[in-house]
Chains A and B, each alone.
Chain A
Amino acid sequence: MAKLEKSEQLSQKQQLDLKNKILVRKLLWLLLGSLLFAFALVPIYDVLCEMTGLNGKTNNTAAVLTKAKVDETRWVTVQFTTNVMPGLGWNFYPKQSSIKMHPGQIETVIFIAKNTTNQVVVGRAIPSITPGIAAANLKKIECFCFINQALKPGEEKEMPLRFFVSPELPKDVSDMTLSYAFFPSVDGVKE
């Protein structure tokens, strides 16, 4: 009788162990799933940003010059700000702080960069646009930010940006800010 009771208990304990093991395995799958999800968020974020202009990223390639009609009924003011990131010994500023233009009108703005160090430095400008919702409407035809820029010691260089604002600009946007942050180039080579 006592022996029977014991074996019954043992099998109950084994049953519980088995049940526990199955549940632990399921929870570990959940854990793995959320870890994968964390890394999947990186591409998901990029896609979302491209769709919504969430982070003000702009297309960093030359826009095809369409014969966009200039919308002379509207004005849009584009302001320019610049930053030089740590590790890059440059001065960098726009020649004019803002420009008032019609959507569709092509303009050129000059930025000036000067290498204040005594060696060749390669940098890369990263643009960002506020408000993000208008980011896709700023079309660059030619930009120094498309490629790495190298400056010799003490060299000063004029860097042109040729762009227009697409007439599809949302109706309530009348002001945009284009910000350039000049980083030390990641790969360090002149293109």
Chain B
Amino acid sequence: MSTTTVAHHDEHAEHPTGIMRWLTTTNHKDIGTMYLTFSLIMFFVGGAMILGIRAELFQPGLQLINPEFFNQLIGVHALIMIFAALMPAATGFANWMIPLQIGAPDMALPRLNNWGFWLLPPSAILLTLPFTLAMFGIGDGALATGWTFYPPLSVQGGIGVDFAIFAVHLLGVSSVLGSINIIVTLFNMRAPGMTLMKMPLFAWGWLITAFLLVATIPVLAGAVTMLLTDRHFGTHFFDAAGGGDPVMFQHLFWFFGHPEVYILLLPVWGFIPQILETFSRKPMYGYKAQVYSFWAIGGLSVVVWAHHFFTSGMPVPALLYFMYSTMAISLPLAVMFFCWIKTMWKGSMSFETPMLFTVGWIILFGIGGLTGLVLADVAADAQYHNSYFVVAHFHYTLFAGGIMGIMAGVYFWLPKMTGHMYNEKLGKVHFWLTAISFNLTFIPQFFLGLAGMPRRIPDYALQFAEFNMISSIAAFVLGFSQLLFVYNIVTCIKGGKKATDQVWEGAQGLEWTLPSPPPYHSFTEQPTVK
């Protein structure tokens, strides 16, 4: 009874309507919704770019786009997918779910939260604007260096590089603000009785992500600032003629870039066990082991960066150190894999869409992790470096491990957020189309890489034609099946079967004690956790 009164009262929650509601909102649910929507839009923008690439790679030779534009699409695709699709999706979930999961009325710094979000659209515009400017004859398009900005190419590049540098600055400020907000919320706003070791795993994953962001984003910001001064203000940080060193940029970039991988994955590792325990109908196995694994991976992630450029030249002892420390990451990761499987073990499992995505995620992310071990081997890496093997590897970790994980989270929490059940049948079709076409896209790329096809090149030798054709066709299926995802989300927001408060039979945690959808202001009286 009392819950219905709360829900009814919420209808009259005071906030501006129309566009002003979204521009001025400090409500964690509104901001979470904006993050998730923005992420979904940018997912399609980045996806459209890569379909352009795959269309060009459908056949050997140059057919559709010129090499310069090809390079621009590759770099901007990566930057958009990482900074504008995956990271905002994770931040969106954090905004929506962390206050609900820890029983807080809102995020600790709501106005900062609003600002953090509204820095994102301008940076997305900065990233893509050079394409439009080039159409009007201004500049020569977006950054064409790949997302890694390696000098000397990025020092010689056109205005696209400057736009991308400022976009990275803005994105960096945005994610640092988001991180500070999340850390403060998690430290100061937990419900009475909820100790750190009682926090839901998703909150734990985000806590470590947030610390990694605060510690490493400034290094990226510093590195691209040095690039900017090298380009325009006569410094020589990366210019060998002036006593600098282009390889130093690689060290600076990957000092940020490798933790970034775990920044993208830790939030997913957080909620995946929550989905597993829900649909296995038994408590998660090894909560503490997983928390400690998070810490171990967070710590290791900042000391292994140089494995991204083994071939740039390093003394043998350094190569060995980076090889062994990289391989050491697989130990805590293996602990987590064990916990995930043990959580399902002898559970009374059912396979609704979130669980399908999660189980598929475990297998595919496992392939991503194992192929990473191959690349960590210095001797093998000399051959596979910058080949399609690398491309396939990091898509297994970031598309399967990142985006498919996020999709599992979307299906898991969508009924809670909207108050309606999504179309289960459509969800399952979406999963199978995604999983199959994803594998058909990237398994051929493993073989292409082993056979020696280099990445970031618009043309290729005839021997690679068949595998590229399969990969391109599957990529288009993969891209277009995501329209089902959008359709399912939109219809779920508009209506559908009413979701119960608990939504899923086995769901555990504070967010499932609230009505679906939760009232505009929730937990104004903090619950007590035993």
Which positions in A face B, CB cutoff 8 Å? 16, 19-20, 23-24, 27-28, 30-32, 34-35, 37-39, 41-42, 45, 49, 52-57, 85-86, 124, 126, 128, 130-133, 181, 183-186
Closest 4 CB pairs of A and B: A38-B222, A183-B241, A35-B218, A38-B219
Q: Is the CB of B156 within 8 A of A35?
A: no
Q: Is the CB of B242 within 8 A of A52?
A: no
Given contacts A24-B184, A55-B313, A133-B316, 15 further A-B contacts (CB under 8 A): A28-B180, A30-B215, A35-B222, A37-B218, A38-B218, A41-B252, A42-B237, A45-B251, A52-B315, A54-B318, A55-B245, A55-B247, A126-B241, A132-B315, A186-B236
- A98 to B192: give the CA distance in the assembly, Å: 75
Which residues does chain A contribute within 8 Å of B188, judged by CB atoms? 16, 19-20, 23
Q: How far is the CB of A24 from chain B (nearest CB, A)?
A: 6
B312 and chain A: residue at smallest CB distance: A55
Write 23 A-B pairs (CB below 8 A) sorted by A numbering.
A16-B189, A31-B176, A31-B180, A31-B218, A34-B218, A34-B219, A35-B219, A38-B218, A38-B252, A39-B222, A41-B251, A42-B226, A42-B237, A42-B248, A54-B313, A54-B314, A56-B313, A131-B315, A133-B315, A133-B316, A183-B239, A185-B241, A186-B236
- A46 to B25: give the CA distance in the assembly, Å: 48
Q: Which residues of B in the span 212-260 have a Cβ within 8 Å of any Cβ on A? A: 214-219, 221-223, 226, 236-237, 239-242, 245, 247-248, 251-252, 255
Q: How far is the CB of A34 from chain B (nearest CB, A)?
A: 4
B177-220 Cβ-contact flags toward A at 8 Å (1 or 0): 00010011001110000000000000000000000001111110
Which positions in B face A, CB cutoff 8 Å? 108-109, 156, 176, 180, 183-184, 187-189, 214-219, 221-223, 226, 236-237, 239-242, 245, 247-248, 251-252, 255, 313-316, 318
Q: Quick one: which of A19, A49, A86 contacts B156, CB cutoff 8 A?
A: A86
- A133 to B156: give the CA distance in the assembly, Å: 30
Q: Which one of A20, A38, A186 has the greatest number of beta carbons of chain B within 10 Å? A: A38
Which residues does chain B contribute within 8 Å of A124, judged by CB atoms? 241
Q: Quick one: which of A24, A28, A31, A132 contacts B313, CB cutoff 8 A?
A: A132
Which residues does chain A contribute within 8 Å of B216, judged by CB atoms? 34
Which residues does chain B contribute within 8 Å of A56, judged by CB atoms? 313
Q: Is the CB of A181 within 8 A of B240?
A: yes
Q: How far is the CB of A141 from chain B (nearest CB, A)?
A: 22
Q: Is the CB of B315 within 8 A of A54?
A: yes
- A35 to B169: give the CA distance in the assembly, Å: 13
- A59 to B216: give the CA distance in the assembly, Å: 32
Which residues does chain B contribute within 8 Å of A183, judged by CB atoms? 239-241
Which residues does chain B contribute within 8 Å of A20, judged by CB atoms? 108-109, 184, 188
Q: Is the CB of A27 within 8 A of B219?
A: no
Which residues does chain A contribute within 8 Å of B241, judged by CB atoms? 85, 124, 126, 183-186
Q: Quick one: which of B242, B245, B315 contacts A45, CB cutoff 8 A?
A: B245
- A86 to B151: give the CA distance in the assembly, Å: 13
Q: Is the CB of B251 within 8 A of A52?
A: no
Q: Quick one: which of B180, B214, B313 contacts A130, CB cutoff 8 A?
A: B313
